[in-house]
């Protein structure tokens, strides 16, 4: 836990709600479920989107969303991030004048949860993109997987949520959660922007599927490695291969599969000392 710059806070009262239900035996049960609340994002005077979110880190979410939709540029200067909790809105202000009326007419739904959208011209951001060289030691993957999957989180506490973790070598640094994996990765993008962090030395770990949207966002953030406990989509694999992203999935126990960018991996782990994983050790909510 000491290595995290941002870690989940499953005890935060605003993020979950206590409910009573009935279990399979007919007995009453008490449990906590994840909250969902709307957040309407404005860029200067223009309303962009209303996202369903757990409500933490609204500034990072809004900035990251706008970055990953190509509405904010890496060299933009922000003049304000005005969050109103009561109105459930946030306004991101820039020195540069912005107008994305035409772009907003052409949005397309993706396979991400909740209100994930990707615009057609986001694909243009991948044209000519060269991800930085990087080395990934397999031993780092095993250490990261163990730490990330045991740290207290909403994902473990209540399920029905996704997490994304920005990692450097074998250290998990920024762990964001939300009802959609796209929100969680947008929060990381926003954190990177606000802290002047470039992606070349980092890896992104996600609890969700390795979809086209996750590949596009990871590559656009300049991060050369994307890993997950979950599986792949065909388009996600195709895009990863086109941009040279290292794509690793099905990380369970001592097993993982790499479907793109395997040249970055150094297979240095002693598999005889790595514990395997059976079904009873899988985290709740994994998809």
Q: Are residues 276 and 144 in the same domain?
A: yes
Domain-located, residue 163: yes
Strands 117-119 and 107-109: antiparallel
For residue range 23-66, list pLDDT tens digits in order. 999 999 999 899 999 999 999 999 999 999 999 999 999 999 99
State residue 64's pLDDT score: 96
Write out pLDDT tens, residues 130-155. 899 999 999 999 999 989 988 999 98
What is the reported pTM? 0.89
| Together in a domain, 201 and 76 | no
What would the two tokens of residue 48 be?
């962009």
pLDDT the model gives residue 283: 46
Examine the fold and report which residue of 121, 154, 169 is the final residue of a domain before the chain moves on.
Answer: 121
Q: Positive or negative CA dihedral for 286, 282, 187, 135?
A: negative
Question: What domain range is 68 assigned to?
Answer: 37-121
pLDDT in tens, 191-248: 999 999 999 999 999 998 999 989 999 999 999 999 999 999 999 999 999 999 999 9
- Please count the structural domains in the chain: 2
- φ, ψ for residue 37, nearest 5 deg: -145, 150
Picking from 179, 239, 170, 253, the residue whose alpha carbon sits closest to that of residue 205 is: 170
* Residues 162 and 61 grouped into a single domain: no
* 183/108 same-domain check: no
Residues 142 and 248 in one domain: yes
142, 264: one domain:
yes
Separation between Cα atoms, residue 178 and residue 65, nearest integer Å: 13
What letter does residue 210 receive in the DSSP assignment?
B
Same domain, 168 and 270: yes
> Are 141 and 98 part of one and the same domain?
no
Q: Are residues 156 and 193 in the same domain?
A: yes
Q: What is the pLDDT of residue 215?
A: 94
**Is 131 domain-assigned?**
no
- Is residue 12 included in any domain, yes or no? no
| Same-domain status, 277 and 149 | yes
Of residues 249 and 123, more confidently modeled: 249
Q: Clarify whether residues 143 and 167 are in a common domain.
A: yes
Calculate Rg over the CA atoms of the chain: 19
Look up the CATH number of the domain holding residue 66: 3.10.20.10
Q: What is the per-residue pLDDT across 76-93, written as a single tens digit (0 to 9) for each?
A: 999 999 999 999 999 999
Same domain, 151 and 246: yes
The CATH number linked to 225 is: 3.40.140.10
- Structural domain includes residue 28: no
Give the integer Cα–Cα distance in Å for 21 and 161.
20
What's the confidence (pLDDT) of residue 120? Answer: 56
Where do we find the tokens 């996202």?
A: 51
In a domain, 56, yes or no: yes
The answer to the question of residue 88 being in a domain is yes
Across the chain, mean pLDDT equals 88
Domain end (from 71, 91, 121): 121
What average pLDDT does the segment 175-197 reach? 95
pLDDT band at 125 (very low <50, low <70, confident <90, very high): confident
Residue at which a domain ends, from 73, 90, 121: 121
């Amino acid at each position: 836990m000491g290595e995290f710059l941002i870690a989940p806070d499953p005890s935060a009262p605003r993020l979950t709600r206590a409910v009573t239900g009935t279990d399979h035996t007919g007995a009453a049960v008490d449990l906590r479920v994840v909250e969902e609340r709307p957040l309407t994002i404005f860029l200067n005077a223009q309303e962009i989107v209303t996202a369903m979110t757990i409500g933490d880190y609204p500034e990072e979410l809004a900035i990251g969303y706008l970055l990953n939709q190509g509405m904010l540029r890496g060299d933009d200067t922000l003049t304000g991030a005005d969050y109103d909790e009561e109105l459930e809105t946030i306004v991101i202000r820039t020195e540069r004048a912005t107008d994305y009326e035409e772009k907003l007419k052409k949005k397309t739904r993706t396979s991400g949860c909740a209100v994930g959208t990707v615009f057609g011209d986001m694909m243009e951001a991948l044209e000519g993109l060269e991800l930085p060289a990087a080395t990934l030691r397999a031993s780092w993957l095993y250490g990261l997987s163990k730490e990330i999957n045991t740290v207290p989180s909403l994902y473990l506490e209540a399920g029905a949520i996704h997490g994304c973790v920005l990692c450097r070598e074998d250290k998990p640094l920024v762990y964001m959660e939300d009802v959609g994996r796209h929100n969680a990765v947008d929060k990381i993008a926003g954190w990177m922007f606000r802290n002047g962090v470039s992606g070349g030395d980092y890896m992104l770990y996600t609890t969700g599927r390795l979809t086209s949207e996750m590949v596009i966002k990871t590559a656009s953030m300049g991060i050369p490695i994307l890993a997950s406990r979950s599986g792949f989509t065909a388009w996600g694999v195709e895009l990863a291969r086109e941009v040279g992203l290292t794509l690793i999935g099905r990380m369970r126990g001592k097993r993982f599969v790499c479907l793109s960018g395997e040249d970055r991996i150094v297979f240095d782990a002693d598999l005889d000392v790595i514990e395997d994983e059976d079904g009873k050790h899988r985290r709740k909510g994994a998809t």
